[in-house]
Structure 1
Amino acid sequence: MPRIETPWGPWDAAPLSDVVALFRRLPAPWWIAGGYAIELAVGRPYREHGDVDIALLRRDHLAARALLAGWDVHAADPPGSLRPWREGETLPQHVHDVWVREDPEGPWRFQLMLDETEDEEWVFRRDPRIRRPIAGLTLEEGPGVRRLSPEVQLLYKSKGLRPKDELDFAQALPHLTGEQRAWLTDALELLGQSDHPWREALAADARCRG
């Protein structure tokens, strides 16, 4: 994996298998997110990953912090900066990104992403009109392991259109079901992105499949 420099120290992402083994001990729902979620949907590796993202529900974030006792854990508070997240501290509502490393002298190893909910619905933090049942948010990847459904991960990635996001979309597109394509298309429309380039590609893929 590439080593990435940041203003808060270098990233040297932990192997996904190590992070999965750690989070199997979490007594709350969690799932693989980010580029790895797309790669698992595709079914084969196709690019390097500079980080590892694990997502969980905000309502379970104290359980995650307890799991990470002994780690050096920092919250993006406010976004664009980092500060230590103490054990037992409830994070403010605006914090949704957490960086984790073994100790203050080492590189960052993985990220936590906190997802919003209302009752038993997942709520997209950028637009609360976009939501779906929590039970349909993730897919089984193996015993005790789940990954974020690819259309939801692509919605998060649709904002930046970085080269890696474009590659993830291109790789995932042939693997999306009709229902997944329709959901992503509708979500982009609801966000006011009717001219988003991915909507044209989604429509073209649907036509090709007949």
Structure 2
Amino acid sequence: MRTDIDNWKPLSVSSIVNVFSKMPITWCIAGGWALDLHVGRNSREHSDIDVLITRKELLIAYQWIQKDWTLYKAEDGKLLHWVDGEFLKSTRDVWVSRNHVAPWAFQIMIIDSKDGNWIYRREKSIKRAMNEIILKSPDGIPYLKPEIQLLYKAGSSKIREKDFQDLQTMLPILSTQEKEWLTLSLKKQFPDGHTWIEYL
């Protein structure tokens, strides 16, 4: 088990591409970097970097990554070594470093899917076709669509200052359709209202 959650030296986006681009899986950049890829510039500093993959392809990714990296599953507030062949039924995050003491290099966010659809775990009635949740940068880097990434940020139990900063950065460039989808999704998850809705 590791407890050094602040011990980060994140890979660059281009290095992440080098790690994942040859894998026979669907993947994309997530988190704040996904929003910056959409904006086309670095809007703020990033202390980590997230990659999104599906649970169905998790073991495939493991076989590729474990050759050069050490993987830890985040469960119940603990970071436990993920061993070969172990299928993670409910784990949502995997942290990755070069070895057992090296700084964290990237984080894998695990999503569930069914019948070709992404399923939002906090409100399972919110779904999108898998081929509709990812965009590509001009350089061909896959990243999570901004309205979906913002839903993950807004739907968290704790909205951080950087999450609201990301919303402010994205508002001027979100399309009407993206704003409408995010608003509808927030209303589904939060029927009593959400503070971000007034900004949308």
Q: What is the TM-score normalised by the length of structure 2?
A: 0.92
Aligned to 2:54: 57
Contact persistence 1:188–1:199 (CA under 8 A): yes
Aligned to 1:114: 110
Contact persistence 1:71–1:101 (CA under 8 A): yes
Determine what percentage of the aligned residue pairs are the same residue.
Answer: 37
Instruction: Choose which of 158, 167, 170 in structure 1 pairs with 2:168.
Output: 170
Secondary structure at the aligned position of 1:39 is classed as helix
Contact persistence 1:13–1:52 (CA under 8 A): yes
Contact persistence 1:62–1:88 (CA under 8 A): yes
Structure 1 counterpart of 2:175, one-letter code: T
| 2:110 pairs with 1:136 | no
Alpha-carbon distance between aligned partners in 1 of 2:60 and 2:22, rounded to the nearest angstrom: 10
Matches within 5 A, 1:13-52: 13-52=10-49
Secondary structure at the aligned position of 1:82 is classed as strand
TM-superposition CA deviations, 1:148-167 (whole Å, max 9, x none):
00000000000222110001
Q: Alignment RMSD, CA only?
A: 1.4
Aligned to 2:97: 101
| 2:180 pairs with 1:150 | no
Structure 1 counterpart of 2:51, one-letter code: I
Distance 1:83 1:168, change over 3 A: same
Instruction: Choose which of 177, 181, 194 in structure 2 pairs with 1:196.
Output: 194
Gaps of 5+ in 2: none
Aligned to 1:206: none
Query: Once the 2 structures are TM-superposed, how far is the Cα of residue 195 of structure 1 from its aligned partner?
Result: 2.7
Gaps of 5+ in 1: 1-5, 203-210
Secondary structure at the aligned position of 1:99 is classed as strand
TM-superposition CA deviations, 1:131-151 (whole Å, max 9, x none):
111110110125652100000
